[in-house]
Amino acid sequence: MIYLDYQATTPLAPEARTAMLRWLDGPEGAGFGNPHSPHRMGRQAAAAVEVARERVAALLPPGGRVLFTGNACEAINLAMRGSDGVRKPGIAYSAIEHAAVRDTAMALGEAAEIPVDAEGLTDPAAALPENTGLVAVMAVNNEIGTVQAVAEWHARAKAAGALFLCDAVQACGKMAVPVADMIAVSAHKMHGPKGIGALWVRDGLELDPQITGGLQEGARSGTLSPALCAGFGAAAQRAAERMEEDAAHIEALWTRARDLFAGWALNGSAEARWHGNLNLRLEGLDVNRLMSECREVMFSAGSACASGSGRTSHVLKAIGLSDAQAKSSIRLGFGRYTTMDDLERGASAIVAGAKAQGL
């Protein structure tokens, strides 16, 4: 199998797996303690959680705290719903935000979309409605990989008297994440385990808990999993150590991929883009047929989060593609563990599949 779907999820780093094992002990071991228990096993587990917290925080700006959550959707919901009482009600979000932001904004009411241009980029000088209390612009888009001017958006939100939320799920561990009021991240997008994410909250900003219980994380209740935290922490540490090496590897894959898919149109900017994302379009392509013929290649017909819904991608629509163009688009994602051979074999199967359709 050839895995080319790094925006959907990433392979677990061996270092993350090793870090997790000790905390998955059964009755014979000392690693299953509750990190919120005051006894020795509990304190050991709590210490591992704190080491992990520091490792995740090292990828994020100074001046804030990291709250562990179950995933990034939960982190985004906590940020948006938990700040409801301390800001103006309006929420302005980019037209290409993940459903976690869009759906929550619409559920909270007074939602306004910030448009993107044909390249998939927002303009930080765009108009904001008068009542805007929260601006949400993601760092890197999950479908087309475009990189937004997040630092400018933060300044813009501040000038408007609004909080700024950055969904940095596809950026964290790959590039520096600029300061915001709240930043959402997810372990499984950066070679950590599934089932854990985090919300970074700027010092001085207090959020209303959305899940009550023990308030173990302050604004978030629930017993933490030391194994998931340790895996996330180890993945974060590895990402920090390898950031340049990973980026250079991905750049080489991108350059080769652009050659392999010469003749296919690229959706979204080529420059302001994370180059581990290749969202391509070939007029007339029947993507479902292609996917069923290329069963050995794992790639996506659009956003992994929306795939299967049958809906046309809101991101591809926002950059001006017609339904037919969006439906003839595929997304390939590659990264740290993708070899040149994987990419070449995957591309050759996809190109052959398209040729078999007469394209």
Residues that bind ligand PLP (CB under 6 A): 71-73, 98, 100, 138, 142, 167, 169-170, 186, 197, 304-305
To ligand PLP, the closest distance from the beta carbon of 76 in angstroms equals: 6
To ligand PLP, the closest distance from the beta carbon of 41 in angstroms equals: 29
3-state DSSP assignment of residue 44: helix
Let me know if 305 is a catalytic residue.
yes
**For 60, how many CA atoms within 13 A lie in the half-sphere containing its CB?**
28
To ligand PLP, the closest distance from the beta carbon of 189 in angstroms equals: 6
Say if CB 233 and CB 241 are below 8 A apart: no
CB nearer to ligand PLP: give 178 or 197: 197
Structure tokens at 302: 């659009």
Dist CA 309 CA 83 (whole Å): 30
CB nearer to ligand PLP: give 49 or 137: 137
Q: Of all residues in the chain, what percent are helix, strand and coil, respectively (each to 5)?
A: 40, 15, 45
To ligand PLP, the closest distance from the beta carbon of 69 in angstroms equals: 9
Own/partner pairs, 214-220, CB within 8 angstroms, 24+ separation: 214/36, 216/36, 217/67, 217/68, 217/69, 218/65, 218/67, 219/67, 219/78, 219/82, 220/67, 220/68, 220/69, 220/74, 220/78
CB nearer to ligand PLP: give 71 or 328: 71
Cβ within 8 Å of residue 45, ≥6 positions away? 23, 31, 33, 34, 35, 37, 226
CB nearer to ligand PLP: give 48 or 72: 72
To ligand PLP, the closest distance from the beta carbon of 177 in angstroms equals: 13
φ, ψ of residue 167 in degrees (nearest 5): -80, 105
To ligand PLP, the closest distance from the beta carbon of 332 in angstroms equals: 15
CB nearer to ligand PLP: give 75 or 162: 75
Catalytic residue among 166, 229, 294, 305: 305
CB nearer to ligand PLP: give 139 or 349: 139
| DSSP code at position 182 | E
Can you spell out the DSSP letters for 206-259?
A: ----SS-SS-TTSS--S---HHHHHHHHHHHHHHHHHHHHHHHHHHHHHHHHHH
- Residues that are catalytic: 305
